[in-house]
Amino acid sequence: QVQLVESGGGSVQAGGSLRLSCVASGSMLRDNTMGWYRQAPGKQRELVATMTGTGSTNYGDSVKGRFTISRDNAKKMVYLQMNSLKPEDTAVYCCYARIFMSNYWGQGTQVTVSS
């Protein structure tokens, strides 16, 4: 079983930056995908960014050029650097892992961006 724990959320003014971290515990195969999704009140969950074990990335259109995902495979961690934050980035951000056809989710961390 894999558990994911996020940290680094908080409140920031528009234009500011935050860095989210997620640490995984349990058995992690080398061939996996880790990343972030977010869900704002009244909206569907949406992709923020994912990264495979070999470094291929995928970003949601709304965050391209502003957010950067990175990983430390030895530490089983994934990070999300968020720059130029906008009020519409306000959401609960959840860490995600896909390991051998199973999906795992963290509890989520709140990010609030004020104008």
Per the structure block, which two tokens stand in for 100? 């051998």
pLDDT for res 22: 97
| Contact (Cβ atoms closer than 8 angstroms) between residue 82 and residue 20 | yes
Q: Are 79 and 71 in contact (CB under 8 A)?
A: yes
pLDDT bin (cut points 50, 70, 90) of residue 86 is: very high
pLDDT digits 0-9 by tens, 68-77: 999 998 999 9
Contact 41, 112 (CB under 8 A): no
pLDDT digits (tens, 9 = 90+) for 17-69: 999 999 999 877 767 899 999 999 999 999 999 999 889 999 999 999 999 99
Closest alpha carbon to 66 in 82, 89, 46, 55? 82
Q: Binning pLDDT at 50, 70 and 90, where does residue 100 land? A: confident
Of 54 and 95, the structure prediction assigns the larger pLDDT to 95
